Chain A
Amino acid sequence: MAANHPEKLSTTLADANLQLAIYAGTGRLIDHRKNAIAGDLLPDYEDLRTHANLLKKHTIDNLDYYLEQVEQNVAAHGGKVVFCNDGTEVADFILNLAKQRGAKLIVKSKSMTTEELDLNERLEHHDLEAVETDLGEYIIQLAGVKPYHIVAPALHMTRYDVADIFTDKLGIEREVVPEKQTMIARAVLRQKFLAADIGITGANFVVADSGAVVVVENEGNARLTSSAPKIHIAVAGIEKLIPRAQDLSVFLKLLGRSATGQALTSYTSFLSGPRRQGEVDGPEEFYLILVDNGRTKLLADPDRRQSLYCIRCGACLNHCPVYRKIGGHSYPWVYSGPIGAVITPQFHGVGKDPWLPFASSLCGACAEVCPVKIDIPKLLLDLRADVTAHKKEQGESKMERFAFQVFAWVMRHPRVYALGGRVAAAFGPKGGEWLSSAPWFLNVAPVRGWLSQRDLPPPAAKSFRQIWRER
């Protein structure tokens, strides 16, 4: 695990303020979720999870059918679906459209998919101003960092961090009161909304039978982004599809409660195409960009497909003992926590960050809280097997494999095992001391690596076999 592990991990563990921010932030989200599903508030919670899982399974198993259906239905309401393989194609489409329409300013509402595609960087490269409008996203965009958490992008920052960023980037007097900081952002961003040429949103759900996108939010920035500019572009991964508008209730009941403990968030927008004849306002053009960017690689294996059921509620992050220690930026990609550890290796290949599937205690909390019942621990185990197979192919970890071969041989030979026990008892440290570093004769790669993160209990004075014989 030590090799290739980002430096961020050690700095996060050493930073007491950051540790407190992560622990308190995720802790509050845990409480909110618990209170929202407790007792008789949502008596059919388990039925809803089962049904959500069935619906996602059906959609992903027949994905091509629903993609074609949504394409037709978006077109029927005057919009257009654009299929893109990757971030380059998405950026090319938007840049081309912006050029044709003479657009300069883009407002964006929170979208993990566009974070994944590095869309802002790609657009800014071509002199387009792309402004994030979700408060947390706005703060981290000013700070120039990636989201720390799927639903709470600035989870790791304090009001004092925000004050520094606002003073530095907006040239205003230092302000440390969150209410006032929020109003500063409101004033700056209101002007952007009213001046913007294009609005880019994500989509929590893409509804196949309606040709509609559903956007869930609390601030109102997604409503403004989708309604104020002349052009609305929604960017979504192809896995965001659900078959029918009537399926929405199942997912909406689960999403808000799992993410922030809300029965429904402040605003849920169900948007289909440009404004209709007679409607006073709304965009004049609507595009739905459906992105692959590696997702189709996850489809071939019927078991691993379930990684694509994720509705990005963030509950698995909040409940993960590993995420709660190492934080969002220790993960190599924009998706952190257990779900990040599952999808990142499948998108990028297990060779890139081989430690990732091991960054879990397999305690199962993630699977227990997942609203769509993704078996995350099982997928992590499968990916660990992939990592090991990959290392074998690459001829890596020879010592580790040798050590396990020796271990396996010893376990198959009881007499050797018993002898080992006696030797350990005779030569091991006395007085019940735990072993925290390797003695000189064992100070070699696999043992040293093992002991760098674990202590070994002292050998017992009498082995179990000895006690058994003496009975």
Chain B
Amino acid sequence: MSPQETSRNAMLSRIRTALGRREGQLPPPLPEIYLRPSRPNLSTFFACIERLNGKTFKAGSPAEALAYVAALVKGKSAVASNSTVLRDCGIAALEEVTCAGADKTVLRALCAESDIGISSADFGLADTGTLVMLSSHQEPRMISLLPPLHIAIIPENRIIGNLDELLTLLPAPVEQTSSMVLITGPSRTGDIEQILVRGVHGPGELHVVVI
């Protein structure tokens, strides 16, 4: 037996002795699941994001979303994900925008140099102004993380009520992705005298576009 296995078995047996349990003994039934899903509300969603100093925009069509993004990226460099929502808007056609490839190293360098990262989001949680990002072949982790400004484009039918509704719809996020991130406002810190400073490691600016 390796030293690691020895530690493992010793620890589990210490725990069983202390708790008075046998190996393989099933626990009693778990407390019931406590989830209280709420109704989605777009104005709450926007209000929460704005309260955290994020910017919001309601686009009537993909073309309006494209125009909003085009104004933001003008004269800057941007990296965009390959998600269907972004493709439908024609984000890739903007000359400032480079689309993410499948190569991790190239993508990381691109994200580290770009002024703006453009992604979609899988869900929006209205009650907290939260974006839910599931990492996938279309949506890498770094686009919403490395550039100092993050733009997320999300269809209105993806706005749901709250975290409880998310976990009702998605009871096992691990079946879909290795990384689910909930983004609520820009990156922030208060570690020096509790003075709020945005953009410490992640993006200091966040724009949410709902189509």
Taking Cβ atoms with an 8 Å cutoff, the residues of A that contact B are 21, 25, 28, 44, 47-48, 51, 54-55, 58, 61-68, 73, 77, 82-85, 89, 93, 133-136, 139, 152-154, 157-159, 162, 178-179, 181-183, 185-186, 189-190, 193-194, 209-212, 218-221, 223-224, 226-228, 238, 243-250, 252-253, 260, 262-276, 278-282, 292, 296, 299-300
The answer on a CB contact under 8 Å between A299 and B19 is yes
Q: Give bound CA distance, A73 to B172, whole Å.
A: 12
Between A and B, 16 residue pairs with Cβ closer than 8 Å are A55-B30, A62-B28, A67-B12, A68-B12, A73-B174, A136-B191, A218-B190, A220-B203, A223-B202, A249-B167, A266-B188, A268-B184, A270-B173, A270-B182, A280-B107, A296-B15
The answer on a CB contact under 8 Å between B173 and A210 is yes
Q: Give bound CA distance, A212 to B167, whole Å.
A: 15
B74 at interface, CB cutoff 8 A: no
Q: Give bound CA distance, A446 to B11, whole Å.
A: 44
B84 at interface, CB cutoff 8 A: no
Chain B residue with the shortest CB-CB distance to A136: B191
The answer on a CB contact under 8 Å between A279 and B167 is no
Q: What residues of chain A lie closer than 8 Å to B108, measured between beta carbons?
A: 194, 228, 281
Q: Give bound CA distance, A334 to B199, whole Å.
A: 28
The answer on a CB contact under 8 Å between B191 and A152 is yes
B71 at interface, CB cutoff 8 A: no
The answer on a CB contact under 8 Å between B35 and A249 is yes
Q: What residues of chain B lie closer than 8 Å to A58, measured between beta carbons?
A: 27-28, 30-31
Q: Give bound CA distance, A248 to B132, whole Å.
A: 15
Binds A, one of B58-66, B134-142, B152-160: B134-142
Q: Which of B26, B127, B137, B191 has the most CB of A within 10 A?
A: B191
Q: Give bound CA distance, A226 to B181, whole Å.
A: 12
The answer on a CB contact under 8 Å between B167 and A248 is yes
Q: Give bound CA distance, A304 to B184, whole Å.
A: 36
The answer on a CB contact under 8 Å between B174 and A272 is yes
Q: A280-B102, A282-B179, A300-B18 are in contact. Are A182 and B189 (CB under 8 A)?
A: yes
Chain A residue with the shortest CB-CB distance to B82: A280
The answer on a CB contact under 8 Å between B12 and A64 is yes
Q: A134-B191, A139-B191, A244-B30 are in contact. Are A264 and B130 (CB under 8 A)?
A: yes
Closest 8 CB pairs of A and B: A220-B202, A136-B191, A62-B27, A299-B18, A220-B201, A280-B140, A83-B8, A278-B137
The answer on a CB contact under 8 Å between B136 and A83 is no
The answer on a CB contact under 8 Å between A219 and B180 is no
Q: A249-B35, A249-B167 are in contact. Are A276 and B178 (CB under 8 A)?
A: yes
The answer on a CB contact under 8 Å between B184 and A265 is yes
Q: A51-B34, A67-B12 are in contact. Are A274 and B178 (CB under 8 A)?
A: yes
Taking Cβ atoms with an 8 Å cutoff, the residues of B that contact A are 4, 7-8, 10-12, 14-16, 18-19, 21, 23, 25-28, 30-31, 33-36, 52, 100, 102, 104, 107-108, 112, 127-128, 130, 135-137, 140-142, 145, 163-164, 167-168, 171-174, 177-195, 197, 199-203
Q: What residues of chain A lie closer than 8 Å to B177, measured between beta carbons?
A: 276, 279
Q: What residues of chain B lie closer than 8 Å to A186, measured between beta carbons?
A: 199-201
Q: A181-B192, A218-B188, A275-B135 are in contact. Are A64 and B142 (CB under 8 A)?
A: no
Q: What residues of chain B lie closer than 8 Å to A300, measured between beta carbons?
A: 18
Q: What residues of chain A lie closer than 8 Å to B199, measured between beta carbons?
A: 183, 186
Q: Give bound CA distance, A227 to B139, whole Å.
A: 13
Q: What 8 additional pairs, Cβ within 8 angstroms, besides A66-B27, A274-B178?
A: A58-B30, A83-B4, A157-B192, A190-B201, A223-B145, A264-B184, A270-B179, A282-B135
The answer on a CB contact under 8 Å between A210 and B141 is no
The one of A55, A227, A262, A296 in contact with B142, judged by C-beta atoms closer than 8 angstroms, is A227
Shortest Cβ distance from B112 into chain A, in angstroms? 6
The answer on a CB contact under 8 Å between A154 and B191 is yes
Q: What residues of chain B lie closer than 8 Å to A182, measured between beta carbons?
A: 189, 192, 197, 200
Q: Which of B10, B33, B174, B194 has the most CB of A within 10 A?
A: B174
Chain A residue with the shortest CB-CB distance to B173: A270
The answer on a CB contact under 8 Å between A64 and B201 is no
The one of A89, A134, A268, A280 in contact with B104, judged by C-beta atoms closer than 8 angstroms, is A280
The answer on a CB contact under 8 Å between A65 and B26 is yes
Q: Give bound CA distance, A312 to B52, whole Å.
A: 24
Q: Give bound CA distance, A109 to B172, whole Å.
A: 26
Q: A219-B200, A299-B18 are in contact. Are A84 and B167 (CB under 8 A)?
A: no
Q: What residues of chain A lie closer than 8 Å to B194, measured between beta carbons?
A: 25, 28, 152
Chain B residue with the shortest CB-CB distance to A135: B191
Q: Which of A54, A253, A263, A266 has the most CB of B within 10 A?
A: A266
Q: Give bound CA distance, A64 to B27, whole Å.
A: 10
Q: What residues of chain B lie closer than 8 Å to A152, measured between beta carbons?
A: 190-191, 194
Shortest Cβ distance from B105 into chain A, in angstroms? 9
Q: What residues of chain A lie closer than 8 Å to B34, measured between beta carbons?
A: 47-48, 51, 247, 249-250
Chain A residue with the shortest CB-CB distance to B27: A62
Shortest Cβ distance from B25 into chain A, in angstroms? 7
The answer on a CB contact under 8 Å between A246 and B193 is no
Q: Give bound CA distance, A85 to B195, whole Å.
A: 39
Q: What residues of chain A lie closer than 8 Å to B107, measured between beta carbons?
A: 280-281
The answer on a CB contact under 8 Å between B7 and A218 is no
The answer on a CB contact under 8 Å between A211 and B174 is yes
The answer on a CB contact under 8 Å between B18 and A278 is no
Q: What residues of chain A lie closer than 8 Å to B127, measured between beta carbons?
A: 263
Q: What residues of chain B lie closer than 8 Å to A62, measured between beta carbons?
A: 19, 21, 27-28
